Structure 1
Amino acid sequence: MTLFGLSEPVIRLLAFSSIFAALTIIELWAPRLERDEMRGALKSRRWFTNIAMVVLSSVVLRIIFPLAAVGTAIWAQEAGYGLFPLLGMPLWLAGILAFLVLDFAVWLEHVVSHKWPWLWRIHRMHHADTGFDLTTALRFHPLEIVLSMLWKAAIIIALGAPPVAVLVFEIVLNGAAMFNHANIRLPLAADRILRLLIVTPDMHRIHHSTDRRETDSNYGFNLAIWDRIFATYTQAPRRGQTGIEIGLSEWRDSRTANLGWALALPFVARPESGKPDLGKPTEAGQ
């Protein structure tokens, strides 16, 4: 797919680079938290691991699933598959509905990745980061990225989602994830207004708490409405935003910033059991 003479991978790379650069500058200018995990040598190691993870995941995804989301939408459109073409739905309406359904599907996938033990083993690598900044949004295991793409591809085919809507969704989802993981300080009034519609950093940071009651909430990556509709919304952390403990209580040391350790995490046991972890969330949870 091309737009303005640019291919889909180039469009996504330009969008990613622009958003990443902008949020990096804002994090330096107006950070929300000031912690050891957010600066110095440990931050450098975290950034290397988290950025390396997204590079590895992207390569693995293109090898295993070369069509990716937009390519799948183009293939489904050419084959005439999906509910929207069957109903003869106008492009603008199909685009809006596709965006909403895909956003809900990602929210649901996130909830299931916490509730289903085998998926939690993979997803917990994202939560093992003891820092919280825009690079945390890139820290997903390659296995999770592939599984997520398979899920999105199934939704895209079932809907017959317009390729341009899928492209917009993928860019927005990626940018929103970096935004709501960013270590940036928003005015409280702006945060209250924004989180009525979209997930803000203060809202999503709660999901990365070591307190399971807080982690089992605020699952959204983009639209904030799903957590409100399904009663998984938490307004504020018990310890406050500056006192919140980030990460998993099982692993609270510098190993979490190591790339090899992070890649191996789905296959290791919880330290307290000494036995293979079948994925049951701990009290610190998710």
Structure 2
Amino acid sequence: MENETLIRLSIFLGLFALLATLEALAPRRVRSQPRSRRWTTNWGITLANTLTLRALAFALPLLAVGAALDAQAQGWGLFNALSWPLWLEFTLAVLVLDFAIWLQHLITHKVPLLWRLHQVHHADVDMDVTTAIRFHPVEIALSMLLKIGLVYLLGPAALAVIVFEILLNGTAMFNHANIRLPLWLDAIVRRFLVTPDMHRVHHSVHRSEHDSNYGFALSIWDQMFGTYIPQPKAGHDEMQVGLEWQDDRPSRFGWSISLPFVRK
């Protein structure tokens, strides 16, 4: 769609700048490493992800939004076979896509091969807004293939896919951000959306805690399926973020990219 990339990029950069500023003004936790080295690595991984999706677009020209337009043109997918009101289709599309990402996230923790990819995200020694963009390129490509397939099955409006992508990216940056929300506000927001304190539990070194709170946007799925843990046992100030064998290597770009392929 016209100007889609510019709109999404503008929103992404604006939210990133806002959250990074809030992290500096009201941090939730003290950093264990200098921000410059981690940010260089995490942004480097993001650049690798962008190049991966560009390469995927050459092999498979229709990514998620293009798949929605193609499905509509071909009359493919559930919603294109129905005559439901647009608002209902739009709402259901966002809900189904968000649930699919929640389920995908859960599966990456349960399937050893997928966990090898996903642990690149969990290996970050600190947790801040850049952690939200720290995913291995292979995992990003697999996630995009999942979304493309689901879009063809559902047949949602392209606008619904764009809104969902913006919601997913925005909420992921928000709930990874190292910001301190007032407890009363956190309690209200987490009824609907995943908050930083809620998602931080998921980044605990303890398996019982990081196998919980899988949501990126909506918090309802963890509450519905019994994977919700409200707070870490050690408290947010004392809990350890990352993996059990944690050291400073995840701040290195080459080490992070090669992590899934190294025998430990």
TM-score range, shorter chain: over 0.9
- Verify the 8 A CA contact 2:213 2:229 in the aligned structure 1: yes
Structural mapping, 1:202-213, within 5 Å:
202-213=197-208
Identical residues among aligned pairs (%): 53
- Pair 1:34 & 2:30 matched: yes
Query: Hey, what does 2:40 align to over in structure 1?
Result: 48
- Pair 1:171 & 2:166 matched: yes
Distance 2:149 2:31 in 1: 41
The Cα of 1:77 is off from its aligned counterpart by 1.1
Distance 2:174 2:188 in 1: 16
Query: Hey, what does 2:193 align to over in structure 1?
Result: 198
Q: 1:242 is paired with a residue of what secondary structure?
A: coil
- Verify the 8 A CA contact 2:193 2:219 in the aligned structure 1: yes
The Cα of 1:55 is off from its aligned counterpart by 1.4
The match for 1:17 among 13, 20, 28 is 13
- Verify the 8 A CA contact 1:137 1:178 in the aligned structure 2: yes
The Cα of 1:89 is off from its aligned counterpart by 2.0
Give 2:46's aligned amino acid: V
Q: What are the Cα deviations for residues 176-197 of structure 1, in whole angstroms up to 9, with x where unaligned?
A: 0000000000000000010000
The Cα of 1:44 is off from its aligned counterpart by 1.0
- Pair 1:262 & 2:259 matched: no
Query: Hey, what does 1:181 align to over in structure 2?
Result: 176
The match for 1:147 among 142, 160, 165 is 142
> What TM-score comes out, normalization by structure 1 length?
0.90
- Pair 1:116 & 2:108 matched: no
Structural mapping, 1:100-115, within 5 Å:
100-115=95-110
Distance 1:45 1:93 in 2: 45
The Cα of 1:79 is off from its aligned counterpart by 1.2
- Verify the 8 A CA contact 2:32 2:125 in the aligned structure 1: no
Structural mapping, 1:203-282, within 5 Å:
203-250=198-245, 252-270=246-264
Give 2:32's aligned amino acid: D
Runs of 4+ in 1 over 3 A off after TM superposition: none
Unpaired segments ≥5 residues, structure 2:
none
Give 1:53's aligned amino acid: I
Distance 2:5 2:47 in 1: 13
The Cα of 1:54 is off from its aligned counterpart by 1.1
Give 1:77's aligned amino acid: Q
- Verify the 8 A CA contact 1:62 1:68 in the aligned structure 2: no
Structural mapping, 1:70-109, within 5 Å:
70-109=65-104
Distance 1:203 1:256 in 2: 23
Distance 2:239 2:69 in 1: 44
Distance 1:205 1:169 in 2: 22
- Verify the 8 A CA contact 1:199 1:221 in the aligned structure 2: yes
- Pair 1:156 & 2:151 matched: yes
The Cα of 1:69 is off from its aligned counterpart by 1.3
Unpaired segments ≥5 residues, structure 1:
271-286
Distance 1:8 1:115 in 2: 35
Distance 2:20 2:231 in 1: 25
Give 1:105's aligned amino acid: A
Distance 2:84 2:30 in 1: 50
Give 2:257's aligned amino acid: L
> What TM-score comes out, normalization by structure 2 length?
0.97
